Amino acid sequence: MTSRNTLSEDLMKGLVRENPIFMTLLGLCPALAVSNKVSSALGMGAAVAIVLIATNFLVSLLKDFIPGKVRTLAHVAIIATLSTIVNLLMHAYTPALFADLGLYAQLIAVNCIIIDRANSFARENSAGRSVVDALGMGIGFTLALTLIALLREVLGNGTITLFPVAGWNGTLIIPGLGAAPIKVLGMSAGAFLVFGYLKAMFNAYRMRKASGEGADIKSGQIA
């Protein structure tokens, strides 16, 4: 029987300890490509989270039906189906977001995070635990993407782009920052710079926590 502690552990590990972007370095391609606007980052995060949750649920339910020989092929077929459905829904109901994400919306079908969680977690655990794990990873991915996008957009453009709501165009202008923005942060190189600094901060946090717990730290790596 799954205890409440196990479920909360499954949920929380995706936020910091096993964060897909900053700790396991999965799904970096869309993370760096669509993190130039906060709205795109939120949209991408939500789309990946939905596909991830549905994939983990289905893979967990079908784990006895899917033979080991064709496991990866079957998982890719399931992920591609769910990704196509999410793409069709975005195209129909959020066309502006769909246009913003461009090719990266279709590339959710081959997202490493989704394939990894299906192969390593969902096929060995119950549907409930798989869904909770996917929820944690999805939230962790969305938060990481939004953090990168927030820094890039605020410092690189002096704005925060959200979703338009009746009469408001959805763009917040930060006073003082728009006059002299750090333009490079809005470009592709800026994504790598921001990601590098945030990754360094996460590493420092991890090392400090590990040294506090008495773990061996050898030449900057946690043993």
Nearer to another protein, 90 or 154 (CB): 90
Q: How far is the CB of 56 from another protein (least distance, A)?
A: 16
Q: How far is the CB of 134 from another protein (least distance, A)?
A: 19
Nearer to another protein, 81 or 203 (CB): 81
173: β partners: 159
Cα(12)–Cα(132) distance, integer angstroms: 9
Nearer to another protein, 67 or 214 (CB): 67
65-82 CB burial, b ≥16 within 10 A, e <16: ebeeeeeeebbeebbeeb
Nearer to another protein, 24 or 81 (CB): 81
Assign residue 160 a region: left if phi > 0, alpha if psi is -120 to 50, beta otherwise?
beta
Q: How far is the CB of 4 from another protein (least distance, A)?
A: 34
Cα(72)–Cα(211) distance, integer angstroms: 38
Q: How far is the CB of 91 from another protein (least distance, A)?
A: 5
Q: How many CB atoms lie within 10 A of CB 121?
A: 18
Kindly list the residues in this chain that would bind another protein in the complex (CB under 8 A).
62, 65-67, 69-70, 73-74, 77-78, 80-81, 84-85, 88-89, 91-93, 95
